[in-house]
Structure 1
C-alpha cells in the first residue's frame, strides 16, 4: 500500500477482494462520507494486457467523472509496488445480484436502462467505449443510484477510428467483436440491450453450455421472444430490444437513439409505437 495514501486517508477494514487487489473502506479527515480504496498489487499483473487494464481504470474514470451514473474517482496514488485508487463507496450488491433475486417490472427495467444509457451516451460523446458492460460492472451508491464501473477494457474511438480486439463477456459481447471485425462504440448498445432482455425475462437472449456455444449463438444473433416468458412484455419494449440487439451494427441504435425511444421516454409505460 502506498505510504502517501496513508498520510491523506485513514484506511480501515477490507470490504472486497478482486483478481489483482483488495478494496478497503477509507476516510478523509475533511469529509463526512466514507470512500472505497482499491489497492492493486502490481506483482500480480502477469502481462501487458493486465498492465493496460490497470492504467485504463483511473485514466478513463478521471476523464468521465463526475457523472451521476458513472463511478466517481477522487484520488490516485502509485509507487513501484502498488496502485491505489480512491473511489466513491457503493453497496456490496451489484445489478447481477438484483437480477438473480428479483424479477423486474417494465417500469423498473426502463428506469435502470435509461440511467445506464445516459452513462454510456456520456462515454460515447467523449470518445470512450466501455466494451465490457455486464451486470457485475453496474453498482449502486448509498442513495441507490446506478453507477457504471470497471473501465479496464475501455478504449478510445472517434474521428472515424474503429476498434479491434476480442474483449467482453460471453453473454454480453456483440457479434462483430467475435467475428474479428473492426467495430464501433455500438458494441456497448448491444450489451445494454442484452442486459435489458435479461431484466425483462430472467434469461439471456443467446446461451449455450460452454463459452464456445454461447459465442456461436451470439454470432447467429437469432433474437427470439419466447411467448411463455414474454407474454406480458409490451410490444414497445420488444421493439426497443430489436433495435439494440441488432446484428447489423449500421442499423443498430446508438445510445442517444435508444434514449429517445418511446418506451424509455415514457418510463416503460408505452404500448403505442406511433
Structure 2
C-alpha cells in the first residue's frame, strides 16, 4: 500500500540552516480513509522569538503527570424545553423542517419569546462527563444519556426579561447530525433532526458550552466567539493554517487551526479523538473545541469549514534551536523530561503519537515544552494501523518506516532524535535524499564524534544511544528514562558555552561536509523545492 513519508532535516554551517519537508509517495490527503503519513502543521509557530536563556527552575525541570481530575461537571439551573413534554421528556425532539441544530434552536427561541414564560418547562440537572463524551440529563419526569462526541451544537439567545439561552444538542444517528453527506443532510432538513433542547441562564451558558466542547460537541459560529488575526498566520501546512485569535469576552489568546475545505471530516474526527483522549497532562497541548461552519463551497467535503481551537504558544523547539544556538546539556534535561513525561502519559492511555519532533514541541518556558499535533496518532491496540508506514523521516523509528511496529516504542526513538538535535542542530541520520535517510535509519548508527558532543556527560551519551536504539526490545522506554540519574538529577554545570553552533567535522576525518542551501524555507512552512540541498566536499 502506498503511504506518505515525511522528511525533515537540519544542518547548520556558519549560521545557515534549513527545514525541509518532502513527500516521498503521496496519497490523497483528503480521503475518508485514515491518512497515516499526513503531516499537520504545528499549531503555534509564531515569529520564532528566542526564549531568554535563563537558568531553568527546579519547578520547571520537574513537570510530572497531573492527578486525574474528576471529569464530571454539574449544572443545576438548566431547563428542558416544553417541546419535550409533548411526547416523552426522556426522548429527543424532532420538528419538521428543522434539519439542523441551528434551525431547532431558532424555533425553540421563537416559541419562548412568544410565550414569554417558562410554564411547562422541566427543571433538570445536567452532568457533563468530558472524558467519556457524555451528557446526563436528570429530572423528576425524565432521565437520559446523550452522546456528545461529534454531536452538533447550536445556541440562540433570548433577551431580557427572560435572559436565557437556548442550547440544542443533536447527536449523530439516523436522524441526527450529518457531517459527511450533503444529500443525507438535505433529506434530514425536510424531516427534521432529533435533538435535545436545553434552556440555560445566560450567565451560566458559557461554562456549559465550554464543557460541551471538552466532551466533543461541535459548535458553529466561530467568529462570534473569537476575533481572528488573519494577518498573522502562525503556521501553514498541507491541511490548513493556524492563526491567532482572541476570545471576544475574556480576550484570552488562542490558536485556531483552519482546515482546508478538502479535508475529510473523518480525518479530523480521528485527530480530535486522540487529542481529547490525551488531555490532562501539563506537557500536552490543551484542546478547546472543534467548530464547523456551513459553507457552499463546492470543494468542501460535507459542506463545512472546520476549525480546531487550542492553547496558543509563540514558537516551537525547532525554531528556537535553528534561529538561536544549540543547547547545553543542562538546558536539554528539563526539555527532554517534558517530552518523555508526556510520552509516558500517552502510553498509559494506549496512545501512540508517532510524530515526535521539534516542530511538534511548543515552547512554554525555557525549560518546558508542550506536545502537539495528533494528526497521525493512533491506539496501540489498532494492529492494522500499526502496519502502516508512517512518520517523519529522520525522526521515525526503523519499525515505523518498515510498517512492522507492534508497540509505541517509536515515540521514544523520536525523543532521542530530539535530544540529539538540541545538542547539535542536526539529526543523526541526515542524508542528501529521503531514501538515504531511511537507509541510515535502518542501519541505526548514531555518530557522536563531533565537537558539539565533546563535553556532554556519559549519562547523556547513554541516554541518546538508549533511546535511538535500532533494537526495539533494547530501546529505553519513557518511564524507564524518567527514573535514570540523568533525568532525576540536574546535568553537570561544567559544560562550557561554545560559540560554535554547528556540527564540526568528526574527529579523525580529513574533511567536513557542508550542505549548500538553495534557499531558506520561509517562516510559514514552505520548503526549499521539496528536496534536500546537494552535498559537496570542502
TM-score (norm 2): 0.46
Whole-Å Cα distance in 1 between the matches of residues 473 and 252 of structure 2? 45
Q: Residues 210 and 126 from structure 1, CA distance in 2 versus in 1: closer, same or farther, beyond 3 angstroms?
A: same
Find the counterpart in structure 2 of residue 192 from structure 1: 415
Find the counterpart in structure 1 of residue 370 from structure 2: 147
Runs of at least 5 residues in structure 2 that lack an aligned partner in the other structure: 1-218, 294-302, 495-538
Find the counterpart in structure 2 of residue 166 from structure 1: 389
Whole-Å Cα distance in 2 between the matches of residues 52 and 230 of structure 1? 45
Q: Residues 108 and 84 from structure 1, CA distance in 2 versus in 1: closer, same or farther, beyond 3 angstroms?
A: same
Asked if the contact 2:391–2:401 (Cα under 8 Å) also holds between the matched residues in 1, the reply is no
Asked if the contact 1:262–1:270 (Cα under 8 Å) also holds between the matched residues in 2, the reply is no
Question: Does residue 1:96 correspond to 2:318, yes or no?
Answer: yes
Helix, strand or coil: the match of 2:392?
Answer: coil
Q: Residues 52 and 99 from structure 1, CA distance in 2 versus in 1: closer, same or farther, beyond 3 angstroms?
A: farther
Q: Residues 56 and 26 from structure 1, CA distance in 2 versus in 1: closer, same or farther, beyond 3 angstroms?
A: same
1:102-251 pair list within 5 angstroms: 102-141=325-364, 145-158=368-381, 163-251=386-474
1:39-54 pair list within 5 angstroms: 39-43=258-262, 45=263, 53-54=267-268
Runs of at least 5 residues in structure 1 that lack an aligned partner in the other structure: none
Asked if the contact 2:334–2:368 (Cα under 8 Å) also holds between the matched residues in 1, the reply is no
Question: Does residue 1:265 correspond to 2:488, yes or no?
Answer: yes
Match of 1:7 among 220, 224, 234: 224
Whole-Å Cα distance in 2 between the matches of residues 183 and 255 of structure 1? 16
* TM superposition shift of 1:68: 1.2
More strand by share: 2
More helix by share: 1
Helix, strand or coil: the match of 1:215?
Answer: helix
Whole-Å Cα distance in 1 between the matches of residues 434 and 378 of structure 2? 24
Whole-Å Cα distance in 1 between the matches of residues 225 and 426 of structure 2? 45
Asked if the contact 2:378–2:385 (Cα under 8 Å) also holds between the matched residues in 1, the reply is no
1:143-198 Cα distance to aligned partner (Å, 9 max, x none): 87411111101010149998221111111010112223133111000000011012
Find the counterpart in structure 2 of residue 25 from structure 1: 244
Whole-Å Cα distance in 1 between the matches of residues 483 and 366 of structure 2? 26
Helix, strand or coil: the match of 1:42?
Answer: coil
Q: Residues 179 and 41 from structure 1, CA distance in 2 versus in 1: closer, same or farther, beyond 3 angstroms?
A: closer
Whole-Å Cα distance in 2 between the matches of residues 190 and 64 of structure 1? 20
- Structure with more contact order per residue of length (Cα contacts < 8 Å, sep ≥ 6): 2
Aligned pairs, how many?
Answer: 264
Q: Residues 225 and 163 from structure 1, CA distance in 2 versus in 1: closer, same or farther, beyond 3 angstroms?
A: same
Asked if the contact 1:137–1:149 (Cα under 8 Å) also holds between the matched residues in 2, the reply is yes
Asked if the contact 2:278–2:284 (Cα under 8 Å) also holds between the matched residues in 1, the reply is yes
Q: Residues 68 and 140 from structure 1, CA distance in 2 versus in 1: closer, same or farther, beyond 3 angstroms?
A: same
Find the counterpart in structure 1 of residue 253 from structure 2: 34
Whole-Å Cα distance in 2 between the matches of residues 14 and 154 of structure 1? 30
Question: Does residue 1:59 correspond to 2:273, yes or no?
Answer: yes
Deviates more, 1:17-26 or 1:212-221: 17-26
* TM superposition shift of 1:4: 1.9
Question: Does residue 1:72 correspond to 2:308, yes or no?
Answer: no
Whole-Å Cα distance in 2 between the matches of residues 234 and 224 of structure 1? 15
Whole-Å Cα distance in 2 between the matches of residues 15 and 3 of structure 1? 23
* TM superposition shift of 1:106: 0.6
Q: Larger radius of gyration, structure 1 or 2?
A: 2
Deviates more, 1:80-89 or 1:104-113: 80-89
Match of 2:478 among 255, 260, 265: 255
